[in-house]
Amino acid sequence: MCFPRDSEPRVPGMAGYATLIQYKGKLNQVVGTKMIWVAVIGDWFNLIFKWILFGHRPYWWVHETMIYPNQSSPCLEQFPITCETGPGSPSGHAMGSSCVWYVMVTAALSYTVRWKEKSAVTLHRLTWSLLWTIFWIIQISVCISRVFIATHFPHQVILGVFAGIVVAEAFEHTPAIQTASLRMYIKTNLFLFIFALGFYLVLKLLDIDLLWSVPKAKKWCANPDWINIDTTPFAGLVRNLGAFFGLGIGINSEMFITSCKGKNSCKLSFRVLCIAASLATLQLYNFVKIPTHTEYLFYILSFCKSAAMPLTVVALVPYCVHTLMRTTDKKCN
């Protein structure tokens, strides 16, 4: 399967994970951990749903449907981000957005719901209205943008939003993730991978091709250079499993415990240095180009790169900052 040579994993998505992990370690570990689990598990469910629902995307559907007479199908404008190669239902962007934002809104409201004073109760209600209004404005904006670029039908983005909310709400009642060990992360990673791969192989034995959408994307995309390997179903799976694996190693490492749970973790200077160093390090990862001439090699390297990013942000960078501050303090004394 051939793809343009300049395609590679979507680093902004991984940078988003790493940024959330950074906040998790320094500001609110409970909320941050929940956000990472929701993002990864939600994206995994999105993959399984797409394989089950066989949803078409507008930019190729208009050319193949029998609804329109010959030569009268509507002309849909395409953009560089239009030509995603996976099935279209439900929308992964809509589902991921609603997942993460639902966690953030409910976490923020959990702090205000404890207020007992009459004025505080009124403030809580105003905060509740404001945050949920912002939530729905963001979700509607995401949905409209995905429909506008001809990547999804309206029902696909709506399904994605509500599926994301269901996944996020499920994790509101799953406290075990807060104390998950490295073994738990590895077991979860293996389960997600084996189930997805097994599901794919079983249907393939039944002569059902779950990669049916890739040829359609290649056929009807206006520009072949817009077809990227990082939009294939397995690319997203590998990317998320890598980030999840890196997170598990990071938060269970001695480096994380020493730096982020020590006395320096409460210092503002430590937090600022960690965030600044992490953002700079993430920018360096943008320069790491993964070859795409061999699909399996791309997946392996994508997994390694995705795992390295959260591991660096969660454990390596804080430990280096902690060591630097400790050395400085000794010199001052």
- Residues annotated as catalytic are 93, 152
Burial class of 98 by CB neighbour count within 10 A (0 to 12, 13 to 18, 19+): buried
- Please report the sign of the dihedral spanned by the C-alpha atoms of residue 294, residue 299, residue 300, residue 303: positive
Q: How far is CA 329 from CA 316, 318, 322, in A?
A: 20, 16, 11
Give the phi and the psi of residue 147 in degrees, each rounded to 5: -70, -40
